[in-house]
Chain A
C-alpha cells in the first residue's frame, strides 16, 4: 500500500513538473492563434493566423534572422574547430599542465555571459586602438565581435561533447594509418574525422542553438547587427504582441520536428544494426532485408502524425478567414461597452434621485453649507461618458479661487511687505 502511494505521488510529481516545463510553451504557442491583441489564452476570441502574417512582414525580425544565421554559421565553424583542437590537446597534454589547462578551457561555461561580452568588447576595442584602426574596422564589426564572444564559451560546450567521444578513440587507429603510409593530415581526415563525425554533428547543432539563443554576451557585442534574440528582447521589453507567440510557435514546432526526426533516425540505425548482425554472409553481400521504417519505431510514427498535423494546419490557414469572427467579437465588445455605459448611467440616475430625495427631506437645514451642489455644472452628469469624479473636481475648483481673491490683495504676502519698505 505504501509502495503504491509512493508510485502515485511520483507520477503526480512528474505531471506537475512537466506541466511547469512544457505548460508555458504550450500556452505561448496557443496565444499565437488568438485574435486578441495582447497574447492571452483566455478569453478566447477568434482563431486567427494574422499574427504569422504580421511576423513575416516585420523587417526587423527578418533582418535579425539573417544576422543570427550568419553569426550562427561563424560560431559553429570557429567553436567546433577550437573545441576539437582543445579536446585533442586535452588527451595528449603534458600531465602536469592538464589540470590547469582543463580549468582554463572549462571556465568560460561558468563565467557569466555578461562578463564574456564585456571582456570581448573591451579587449578587441583595445587591440583595434593599438593597431590604430578606425571605429569601422573589421575588429569592431558586430558580427566579428559576436562570433568571437560567443565562441569563447560555446567552444567549451563543443569540447565537452567531443572529448567524450574522443576518449573512446583508439590512438592505435591513427598509428595504423600512419604505419600504412598516410600523412598526419590524411590520417586525421580519413580515420579520426569519420570517427568523430557523430560527435561533431552534435557539437555543431549544440553550437548553433547556443549561438542562436544567446542574449547575455551578444547584447554587448552586436553593434550594427542585432540578432533575432536581440530583436526579440527589444520587442518583449517594450510591449508584447502575439506576433512573438507566432514566432515562438514556429520555433517550438521546428524543435519538436527535429527532435522526433533525430529520434526516429537513431531508432532506425539501431534496428538496421540489429538486422545486420543477424544477417548471413550472402545477405550482406547482396541485399539485406531491412525492417520497414515504422516497425517498432514510435518516434517515426509520431513524426508522421506531426507532419500530417502541420499540413492540416497550413491548409486550414490558407482557406480560413477569421474576418467574420473578428467582426463578431468587435461587435460583441462594442455591445458590452455600451452595456457598461448604460449601467453606469443607470447607477448615476439612481444616486441622483436618492440625493434629491434626501435633500427634499432635510429641507433648508442644509442650505447654509457652501457646497455648490446646486450649481449649473451639475447638469454635466447626464452627459454620456462623464464620470462622477469629474463633477466633484469641478465643484472643488469653483470653491477654491475665492480664497485668493479676498479684498486684502497681497498685503499678507511677506515679499511684498519687504519691497514696500
Chain B
C-alpha cells in the first residue's frame, strides 16, 4: 500500500458515434505507481488518458481518482496534470511563466511565482533558463519544462501522453531514466501512454497492453514479456517468432502442438490460459529469438526445429540468423556474441533447440502489425 492517490477505471466504455474507442476497461492503478498503457496508435490509450484528465466524459462506467467518482468534474477541477504529446508549452510566455501558470491562475504574486519557478528549474537541471521563450530551448529542455509545469500544479496524478516521441533515440533513452527518477522523488502516480514497448518495460511498475479499444493484459513488465495472455501481447511486446498449429495433446501446463510447417512441438501454456485450452483448438506458439540455440545436426524431437537459412547478419552484440518460417514469416534467431566464431549457414538447413519454458502457447488470435 503506497502513499499516493490511486486511479480506478470501472467498466469504462467510450464511444464516438458508432465507433467504440474503449471497450469495457477495468483497471486499478495503485497510488504512487508508474503505470503505462502500451499499444499501437489508434488503440484507444490516449482516449483513456483524456477520460482520466476530464476532457472526455465516458459513455458508460466510471473513472475514480482516489476513490472519488469524477463524473461531471471538469479538467480544471481534477487533481491531475497532463503532459501533452506535443508538450503544449505556451509559446508567448517565458519559461518561468509557463512553469508557474497554475500559480498565476490561483492568484499568486509574481515574486512567489518567480521563486517557485527557480526551485523547479533547479530540479529539472535548467537553472537560469527561466527568461527564455520555449522556442529558444532544445527538445529535451522543453520536455523538462513541460514536466516542471505539470508538477508545479502539485497534482496527485501525472498523465503523460507519449511525451518522448518527438525526441531522438539517445535523448529518449536518457529521458526514460530521468522520468523514472523524478517519479520516485515526487512519489505521485504517473500514468504513461506509449507505443514504445522499450519505454514501457524500462519505466513502469505495471503495464496495460491495449489493442483496438480492449485491454489484453495488465501486469508488470517481466510477466508481460515472458508470460503474455494473447497472441497480440506476445507479438507486440518485443520481438517474437510465431508458430501456428492445432493442439494435439495437453499434459498439465504443457501442450503438444502439431504446427503447420515444423512438425510437432512442445510448449508451455501461458498462465492466464491454463485450463482454458482444449485438444483440437487453434493455437499459437511464441519463441523469442534469443531463446534459441543451435543444436547438433541430425537430432530431432519435440523441442527441435529444422529450417533452411535465408540470410544472416552481424549486429555487434548479437548474431542474427533468419530461416524460412511459418506463412512467409521468417524465424529470427539471435545468438549472443560471446567471442565465439559464427559459421556461415546461408542456404543450409540448421536445427534449432529451445527449452519448453521459453515457448509460450496462447489461443490463436490477431498479431500486432509489423
Contacts and interface: CB of A to CB of B under 8 A. Distances in A.
Nearest to A191: B90
Most chain A CB inside 10 Å of its own CB: which residue of B53, B82, B88, B91? B88
Most chain A CB inside 10 Å of its own CB: which residue of B90, B106, B129? B90
Interface in B48-95: 53-55, 74-76, 80-82, 84-86, 88, 90-92
A177 B101 contact: yes
A276 B133 CA distance: 10
A176 B81 CA distance: 8
Interface in A350-395: none
Interface in B104-152: 104-106, 128-129, 131-133, 136, 149-150
Contact of B76 (A181, A276, A285): A181
Contacts of A276: 133, 136
A180 B149 contact: yes
Contacts of A316: none
A380 B277 CA distance: 136
Contacts of B129: 281
B76 A176 contact: no
Interface string A180-205: 11110010001100110000000000
Contacts of A179: 53-54, 75-76, 80-82, 153
A180 B92 contact: no
Contacts of A186: 105
B102 interface: yes
B149 to A, nearest CB: 7
A175 interface: yes
Contacts of A295: none
Interface residues of B, number: 30
Given A178-B75, A180-B149, A181-B106, A170 B88 contact: yes
Query: Chain A's interface: helix, strand, loop or mixed, by majority?
Result: helix
A183 to B, nearest CB: 6
B132 A175 contact: no
A173 interface: yes
Given A276-B136, A284-B136, A181 B88 contact: no
A371 B282 CA distance: 134
Contact of A182 (B86, B105, B136): B105
B84 A195 contact: no
A180 B81 CA distance: 6
Contacts of B132: 281, 284
Nearest to B80: A179
A172 interface: yes
B86 A180 contact: no
Contacts of B74: 178
Contacts, number: 68
B80 A176 contact: no
A277 interface: yes
Contacts of A284: 131-132, 136
A176 B84 contact: yes
Interface string B302-336: 00000000000000000000000000000000000
Contacts of A285: 128, 131
Contacts of A182: 76, 101, 105
B72 to A, nearest CB: 15
A281 B95 CA distance: 13
Interface in A279-293: 281, 284-285
B76 A277 contact: no
Contacts of A181: 76, 102, 105-106, 153
A173 B86 CA distance: 10
A181 B53 CA distance: 11
B273 to A, nearest CB: 40
Contacts of B54: 179
Contacts of B92: 194-195
B73 to A, nearest CB: 12
A178 B102 CA distance: 9
B310 to A, nearest CB: 46
A176 B82 contact: yes
Nearest to A174: B88
A186 B131 CA distance: 23
Contacts of A177: 90, 101, 105
A57 to B, nearest CB: 48
B352 to A, nearest CB: 49
B82 A195 contact: no
B105 A172 contact: no
A175 B101 contact: no
Contact of B105 (A170, A175, A180): A180
A363 B232 CA distance: 134
A172 to B, nearest CB: 4
Contacts of A194: 92
Contacts of A191: 90
A285 B101 CA distance: 20
A284 B137 CA distance: 12
Nearest to A173: B88
A190 B82 CA distance: 19
B75 A175 contact: yes
Contacts of B91: 173, 195
A248 B82 CA distance: 57
A288 B184 CA distance: 39
B125 to A, nearest CB: 14
A195 to B, nearest CB: 6
B139 to A, nearest CB: 16
Contact of A172 (B76, B80, B84, B131): B84
Contacts of B80: 179
Contacts of A180: 76, 81, 101-102, 105, 149-150, 153
Contacts of B104: 190
Most chain B CB inside 10 Å of its own CB: which residue of A181, A277, A284? A181
B86 A170 contact: yes
Those 4 A-B pairs whose CB atoms lie nearest each other, nearest first: A172-B88, A176-B88, A180-B102, A178-B75
Interface of B: 53-55, 74-76, 80-82, 84-86, 88, 90-92, 101-102, 104-106, 128-129, 131-133, 136, 149-150, 153
Interface of A: 170, 172-173, 175-183, 186, 190-191, 194-195, 276-277, 281, 284-285
7 contacts: A177-B105, A179-B76, A180-B102, A182-B76, A186-B105, A191-B90, A195-B92
Given A191-B90, A276-B133, 20 more contacts: A173-B88, A175-B82, A176-B88, A176-B90, A178-B55, A178-B76, A179-B75, A179-B153, A180-B76, A180-B105, A180-B150, A181-B105, A182-B76, A186-B105, A190-B101, A194-B92, A195-B91, A281-B128, A284-B136, A285-B128
